[in-house]
Structure 1
């Protein structure tokens, strides 16, 4: 990618941390493909991970960065545009080189899992990522993991990992709202902060965390609230668990079960059950419920109005789907609040997209409605 004159003359000071990204002459691999140039490939064993640590500063924690693409690895033609760019243009090596300050706080290695926009994350990718995280954290030579990710579905991946990671070592998911080529790109500092949190001993046992905009949030409570603003990720109802102001400060504890406390083990799972989200609205029909039944869906999350409210049409269609063996979860499209128990399974305070994640994993363990409700109440 070539830097234009306007970018070079007027904006260099703002994007210097990502100069290597836009001018190094190295392009990322094709969309969705693994990067063969990184130090550690996803097929390497833990012993090989140990070998890559040889000769590094043994006084610093070892942090592995798993890259999946997204805006933080995006590039565009204009340094003034924050929306006109292509996600997943930059590989993990360039991300690491662009923030050399990370080497002062941790021994950092990188691995490219995929390089895509986050709307293209599939269940297969979630399983691949979750298994790799568990594999790496089982090594004594990995102290924490940072995952770079597109922001659009970041909260879903983070919550998935919050439920399936079997270690108390820190796992931090990070992204950016501005591509690497934009003025005042937020990716470099977000990535640095994520590595700092993953390096912190105080971060152990807190489940999967999301770090953006100097805030530390639990994957269980955080959500994207704005289409383009850098401060889009918020935990409005439950609050953040910490903040970063040069140092890392944790202020709140997590009471929901996560990581080693959950029942979910994906080590032998090759496929997750299909769960769909249906959005409630005025004048809705029953045909989407019927389509889910015909498509052999195993679960439906209904994003109802208010307190997960259903129209008479939706309620009748949901009962028919339930009779056909589909688990129904009531969530809310409002964005905040608890959906109180009534008919069907209540999502508690989970938004529809996270309710889908938990229902998928629940269905790998049981089809018992009461047990699934227990998962929603505890996780």
Structure 2
């Protein structure tokens, strides 16, 4: 009989407060399973035990290798990763890029309240994630986040609240399903749109524009990076001096991706005088409604995989489609 592989990485779901008042990840995966009174068809291993706000690209690579190892095991029907909520959406998106060929559910979950709270949400979220990982309905959905009873696609999910129990959503799209009393309901289909090898992503600048940020400041921020993601104004606009800097980067074979500061809606080259049209003319690629953090993961992974300019542009176009 197949089993679900739970891989723990720390986070609030595995945390307790200490005498000095700090909260940190200390609980083992086996402790989390004991709280559930878990059945025999679930096995537990640990990848890392830290808060997700301390993750780096090497951490993502290690988790991806652990997940891939589990997915290759014919006895594993699905994988659950317990994870801190701060960066769960980025890890989920990275895994969606590098593990989507196995046709087994990969589910991430966590908690907003640590295990010392009587109302901690960790146990219920983990239980729901295990049910989701056991569901054949989700076998072709790639990587998902299960939280507060809802199922979200890795591409669209975002943390929307710092401490509410319903801390996640997919702005503009909503959940793709839910878990209700052990029943998994899939209301939308999810089609993975890019497939990359698991590598340690290269550093990519993530620049969120604000009033008064001009080309000179943009250059100081992006200098020394091999790729740049711009979280632009609205539909994908920037100060009129920035397209010149974008062209300089592109002419030096440094790819630039444009996303929006807005949490809903796509970027589109419409406006001139520094707007999206000028950024497009300068050679920037537009990433639909993909978030800046995820565009950064995508670009860094493509760069470390030595994808050609054409391949990178094609992947951005694929992933920009929901």
Match of 2:196 among 264, 278, 283: 264
Tell me the SS of whatever aligns to 1:193. Answer: helix
Encode CA deviations 1:259-297: one digit per residue, 9 max, x unaligned.
Answer: xxx34122xx4x32211201100111423533432x3x2
SS of equivalent residue, structure 2 residue 293 = helix
Residue 308 of structure 1, aligned match among 236, 243, 259: 236
Give the conservation status (yes or no) of the 8 Å contact 2:266–2:289. yes
C-alpha separation between the residues in 2 aligned to 1:182 and 1:201?
Answer: 33
Q: CA deviation at 1:319?
A: 2.4
SS at match of 1:329: strand
User: In structure 2, what is the equivalent of residue 29 of structure 1?
Assistant: none
- Please give the per-residue CA displacement for 1:78-111, whole angstroms capped at 9, x wherever unaligned: 9xxxxx75231212121111111x31xx611111
**What is the alpha-carbon distance in structure 1 between the residues aligned to residue 57 and residue 192 of structure 2?**
24
Partner residue of 1:87 out of 20, 24, 44: 24
Between the aligned partners of 1:233 and 1:128, the Cα distance in structure 2 is: 25
Judge conservation of contact 2:29–2:45 (CA < 8 Å) in 1.
Answer: yes
Q: Trace 1:63-82 onto structure 2 (pairs within 5 A).
A: 63-76=4-17
1:36 aligned residue: none
Q: What residue in structure 2 maps to residue 12 of structure 1?
A: none
Q: Gaps spanning 5+ residues in structure 1: where?
A: 1-57, 79-83
Taking the aligned partners of 1:85 and 1:193, their CA distance within structure 2 comes to 28
SS of 2:64's equivalent?
helix
Shift, 1:132, TM fit: 1.7
- Unpaired stretches in structure 2, ≥5 consecutive residues: 270-276
| Alignment check: 8 A CA contact 2:153 2:175 kept | yes
Q: What residue in structure 1 maps to residue 272 of structure 2?
A: none
Where does residue 274 of structure 2 map in the other structure? none
> Where does 1:190-269 land on structure 2 (aligned, <5 Å)?
190-246=125-181, 247-257=183-193, 262-266=194-198, 269=199
Displacement, 1:216?
Answer: 0.7
Secondary structure of residue in 2 paired with 1:87 = strand
Higher Cα Rg, which structure: 1
Is 2:106 the counterpart of 1:171?
yes
Higher strand residue share: 2
In 2, distance between residues paired with 1:77 and 1:250?
Answer: 40
Shift of 1:212: 0.4
What is the RMSD of the two structures over their aligned residues, measured on CA atoms?
1.8
Tell me, in whole angstroms, the C-alpha distance in 1 between the residues paired with 2:241 and 2:24: 40
Kindly state the Cα deviation for residue 250 of structure 1 after the two structures are TM-superposed: 0.8
From 276, 298, 306, the counterpart of 2:226: 298
- Tell me the TM-score normalised to structure 2 length: 0.88
315-324 vs 148-157, which moves further: 315-324
Alignment of 1:143-154 (within 5 A): 143-154=77-88
C-alpha distance 85-198 of structure 1, shift in aligned 2 (>3 A): farther
Measure the CA separation in 1 of the matches of 2:242 and 2:133: 44
Q: 8 Å contact 2:178–2:185 — kept in the other structure? A: yes
- 1:10 aligned partner: none
- Match status 1:275 vs 2:207: no
